[in-house]
Amino acid sequence: MQAEQGANAKGGEAGTRSVHFILKGRVQGVGMRVWAKRTAERLDLRGWIRNLPDGRVEVCAEGPVDAMQRFRQLLRVGPRLARVNELTDRGPAVELPDEGFEIR
């Protein structure tokens, strides 16, 4: 579980990747969840995002390898008001919905 490790967890289907990220910094109260949901939907990913009580944000997603790499790059920047200081890869995604991207 190393910061900036990259999305290297394998997904359930060939050509897909599954990731579980933790975002740290100014990531709550800046529109991160809505922005990430819209971004994930544009990239045709399934998964979820939620705020954690300690001020971090947790993201689990799965989709085509190229789209997942792009999602990671975009999460590292976030919406205009966000400041992502750390993006940690926690391994494969957990508890993915059957389809779509949810705000939890």
Residue 33 Rama label (left phi>0; alpha psi -120 to 50; beta): alpha
- Residue 32 backbone dihedrals phi, psi, to 5 degrees: -60, -45
The catalytic position among 26, 42, 50, 51 is: 51
Question: Pick from 80, 4, 6, 2: which is nearest to 39 by CA?
Answer: 80
Q: Is 33 a residue of the active site?
A: yes
Catalytic residue among 17, 33, 46, 72: 33
Active site residue 17: no
Catalytic residue positions, numbered: 33, 51
